[in-house]
Amino acid sequence: MLLHRCGAATIRCMSDVHSEELLAQVAALPALPGVYRYFDAQDALLYVGKALNLKRRVSSYFQKNHGGTRIGHMVSKIVRMETTVVRSEAEALLLENNLIKTLNPKFNILFRDDKSYPYLKITGTAGGTGDAPGQVFPRMAYYRGAVDKKHRYFGPYPSAWAVKESIQLLQKVFRLRTCEDTVFANRTRPCLLYQIKRCTGPCVDLISPEAYAADVQHAEALLRGETQELLQALEVRMMAHSDKLEFEQAAEVRNQIQALSRVLHQQAIETVDDKDVDILAVRVQGGRACVNLAMVRGGRHLGDRPYFPVHVEDAAAVFEEEGGDGSDEAASHPAPVARPVEALVLEAFIAQHYIGVPVPPLLVTSVAVDKALMDALTEQTGVRVHAIHQPREQRRAWLDMAQKNADLQLARLLAEEGSQQARTRALAEALDLPPEDLDQLTIECFDISHTAGEATQASCVVFHHHKLQSSEYRRYKIEGITGGDDYAAMRQVLTRRYSKVVEAQREEGGIDFAAAGADGAAPQRKGAARLPDLVLIDGGKGQVGVAREVFTTLGLDLARIVGVEKGEGRKVGLEELVFADGREKIYLGKDSAALMLVAQIRDEAHRFAITGMRAARAKVRVGGGQLEEIAGVGPKKRARLLQRFGGVRGVAAASVEDLATVEGISRELAEEIYRALR
């Protein structure tokens, strides 16, 4: 049941490395398009690939002796495989990158998700009916989150600054309102924005709904990039008022035209035919890569944002060793044309980024991308998407600017990483830690925070791979101690954290001291069974003494405990390191790279503890927990309610109608909140 196209020697080689069950599964694959996934002995995902012909593509991995190459290293780890048959190459490409984005395989280029893109929202629907202020007199606002059909959205924008700058632009020209509906409904006289000519005062009926609706339409036209049509429409409107001898109205429109012309000049809004374009420039150096995305919407260059993928070196090596492009066609040609790593990175970004983000009809790229990728995007969105990589005129200027930004951002990243690695190395030398494999050096730092004994919180921040790992931070609510007893708080948090290590040691017969696997990925944390290389305590001899007691009781290594003691006069840079195992304390020097790293981790633990303490204190003082107990009111809705009404007391005093005006609060939920708080 082995692969029928293998020779005897190859079969014996494969049988030594892989199970007959796996090889039989490979032999039984259909000659259809699909996606395959390789797993190792720990069931960790190694690689996700696509193929026009699953049988031919997957078989190619097991028919050769890849030696000590990276692809050979990957193939030797494969113990299990999963495949999914699809209808077309485009569908395979989209599924492949969905899986890469969600499952984070080791040998694929991965662009991690960051925050969602912000939008400019105009409330209400075009031509909609209703008496709500947001429909009669729509407001514009900054918005981040899922879009719905109740409102109009423009964007996405690359940054919050770009949205706010656009709002200011529309305020200058069309003077649309930005106030909340509750504020709007309770105004008896116009606000300051009206006085400085940034709003037309619809809250006190200083503009008719019809005139305001016209301003909204013109604002939307500007956001869509219809600048010339908008100027012509305003001129026609101004002349119509003039013909009717309505000179005050004509003067208002004239002022709008002048303001719009001034804005168009100041904002460098282009008059080219391109309305919505994404410009993508890529730079690869030193095993790292940067893709810089610049966005043009409505003819306006809104700014850019850099993205830094991971696994670039491993993925590129596997790609090259596969034969140039990892496709079935490459496997059938003896000398395929090698494609640059930049093209791989850019295609990975396009395929993963536009899964959840609207794609414009034109992409301007610094390197050529696969036509099949554009066809897949077209099939996914229903809008014809095409890419050009040798643009001219204005497009060339956009691309040159994006390429320069990619170069600068990657240079900054490499400089920062080099500096951080130097700090890690300096700390290892100062503490006589093994210099090998500093990527795996793991540090946990603890801090205690409270206000006069109220709402005591302990924080634990984690550092490894030369950077702080926010996803592994922990907060501990300290209870059952005398308020303000920092020693008792430290004893409790260390006991709670590391008693789990001891429990796991008993269950598993030992502690896993490895910070990460040999592949250099993030630590494969075995929950409580993992002990860091260093435990930093924000405190001097007293706090370190408490840590020594806890570690002695639990039977853990005292050499891992390091206290950060304030120097003379508590001045920054004069801190000393205190040890629990009897070593003399040391002063690293205010310019020491090791002290800079210790201070960075210590300060982050302090910040994390303070934010947790303040949130807990505010919850106790204002009664925020009352809202938490109401079914259907999650963190986002609770935050909107508290922001709108200024606290729980304001929410409790609000009527059902007022509560229902908050975004995400239905009439039924508003009634439930009203009953619960009374």
Number of compact structural domains in the chain: 4
Report the SS3 class of residue 222.
helix
Most confident range (mean pLDDT) of 247-251, 600-604, 615-619 is 600-604
Q: Which pLDDT tens digit goes with each residue over 183-194?
A: 888 888 888 998
Express each pLDDT in 517-569 by its tens digit.
Answer: 333 333 444 444 578 999 999 888 889 999 999 999 988 889 999 998 887 76
Residue 256 lies in a domain: no
- The b/e string for 619-629 (b: 16+ C-beta within 10 A; e otherwise) is beebebebbee
Task: Indicate the residue among 61, 89, 117 that finishes a domain.
Answer: 89
Q: Is the pLDDT at 456 greater than 90, yes or no?
A: no
Same domain, 397 and 358: yes
Q: For residue range 96-146, what is the model confidence (pLDDT) as tens digits?
A: 888 888 888 888 888 876 567 888 899 887 766 667 777 889 999 888 877
Do residue 633 and residue 592 come from a single domain? no
Sheet hosting strand 386-388, strand order edge to edge: 300-307, 288-297, 277-285, 362-365, 386-388
Same domain assignment for residues 346 and 286: yes
Its domain, for residue 544, covers 438-619
3-state secondary structure of 272: coil
For 252, 261, 263, 527, the CA distances from 258, given in Å and listed in that order, are: 10, 5, 9, 64
The overall average pLDDT reported for the chain is 80
Q: Is the domain of 652 the same as that of 563?
A: no
Is 259 a domain residue?
no
Q: What is the DSSP letter of 360?
A: P
Is position 577 within any domain?
yes
Regarding whether 378 and 443 lie in a shared domain, the answer is: no
Q: Is 595 found in the same domain as 547?
A: yes
By mean pLDDT, which of 34-43, 206-215, 236-245 is the weakest?
Answer: 236-245
CATH of the domain at 403: 3.30.420
- Report the CATH number at residue 668: 1.10.150.20
Residue 189 gets which letter from DSSP?
Answer: S
Q: Are residues 498 and 593 in the same domain?
A: yes
Whether 491 and 577 map to the same domain: the answer is yes
On whether both 646 and 593 belong to a single domain, the answer is no
Residue 596: half-sphere exposure toward Cβ, Cα within 13 Å? 13
List beta partners, residue 153: 121
Report if residue 375 sits inside a domain: yes
**Domain harbouring 454, CATH code:** 3.30.420.340
Give yes or no: residues 615 and 630 share one domain.
no
* Residue 379 within a domain: yes
pLDDT in tens, 563-598: 988 877 667 677 889 999 888 888 888 778 888 899
Could you say which of 573, 588, 619 is where a domain stops? 619
Per-position DSSP letters for 492-550, written without gaps between them: HHHHHHHHHHHHHHHHHTS-B--SS-TT--S----GGGB--SEEEESSSHHHHHHHHHH
pLDDT digit string, tens, across residues 244-268: 787 877 887 787 777 677 655 544 4
Q: Are residue 453 and residue 578 in the same domain, yes or no? A: yes
334 pLDDT above the threshold of 60: no
Residue 47 located in a structural domain: yes
Q: Is residue 218 part of a domain?
A: no
What's the number of CA atoms in the CB half-sphere (13 Å) around residue 345? Answer: 30
CATH number for the domain harbouring residue 35 = 3.40.1440.10
Domain boundary among 604, 619, 634: 619
Q: What is the mean pLDDT of residues 644-665?
A: 82
Which structure tokens are listed for 521? 């990925």
Question: Is residue 161 domain-resident?
Answer: no
Instruction: Of 120-129, 202-211, 414-423, give the range with the top mean pLDDT.
Output: 202-211
Are residues 510 and 654 both part of a single domain? no
The token pair at 581 is 């195992």
Whose CA is closest to 287, among 439, 425, 434, 514? Answer: 439
